[in-house]
Amino acid sequence: MSMINYASREINCKIVYYGTGLGGKTTNLEYIYSRVNPDTKGKMISLATETERTLFFDFLPIDLGEVRGFKTRFHLYTVPGQVYYNASRKLILKGVDGVIFVSDSQAERMEANVEAMHNLYENLESYGYDLTQIPFAIQYNKRDLSNTLTVEELRAQLNPAGVPDFESVAIEGKGVFETLGSVSKLVVQSLS
């Protein structure tokens, strides 16, 4: 649920990066943060647990324009990767405007990807959200590794609905802004 700040003439939107532990969620945010204009971004905040981090920062993209005279500011979050932290994962989804599911393309991580996707659906459902009605994209990360599944195999397991999906190597920035851009544009369209 977007928040409107009338004083600053901004609409604040929340995009959550969801997926397995060590799949690349944090790497995505760190890459974006390092490339966004310093004048348009807030401070990156890390909420650390013993083994996981939740990252957050906001930024104001200039190129997406205005919606009804308001600038659109995006708040990007990652969730902890382990299902052990499900309460945190669920809480971070509250009020979400868009979701990016970051999957690990390695064959041995498919079961964890599927489990994380089911967990995403369950947590959204607990708030009465329907993922088919929320701007959503899937990123197939770690495409540079030798033990990856084909995109077709990943799609069959993770994307039967055919939402926008992207190949990526987040550590190199490949596919990072394409994925974010896709969801950001869908969020802005949903506000219009």
On the 0-12 / 13-18 / 19+ scale of CB atoms within 10 A, 95 is middle
Residue 40's pLDDT band (boundaries 50, 70, 90)?
confident
pLDDT of residue 108: 98
Report which residue type is found at 168.
S
pTM: 0.93
Residue found under tokens 């959204």: 124
The one-character DSSP state at 52 is: -
Report which residue type is found at 9.
R
pLDDT tens, residue by residue, 70-118: 888 899 998 887 767 788 889 899 999 999 999 999 999 999 999 999 9
**What is 71-92 written as a DSSP string?**
EEEEEEEE--SSGGGHHHHHHH
Cross-strand partners of 56: 45, 77
Cross-strand partners of 72: 11
pLDDT tens, residue by residue, 126-153: 999 999 999 999 999 999 999 999 999 9
Question: In order of start, what are the domains of the chain with their CATH numbers?
Answer: 3-191 (3.40.50.300)
Task: Tell me the CA distances in angstroms from 133 to 29, 31, 79, 186, one per residue in order.
Answer: 24, 28, 20, 11
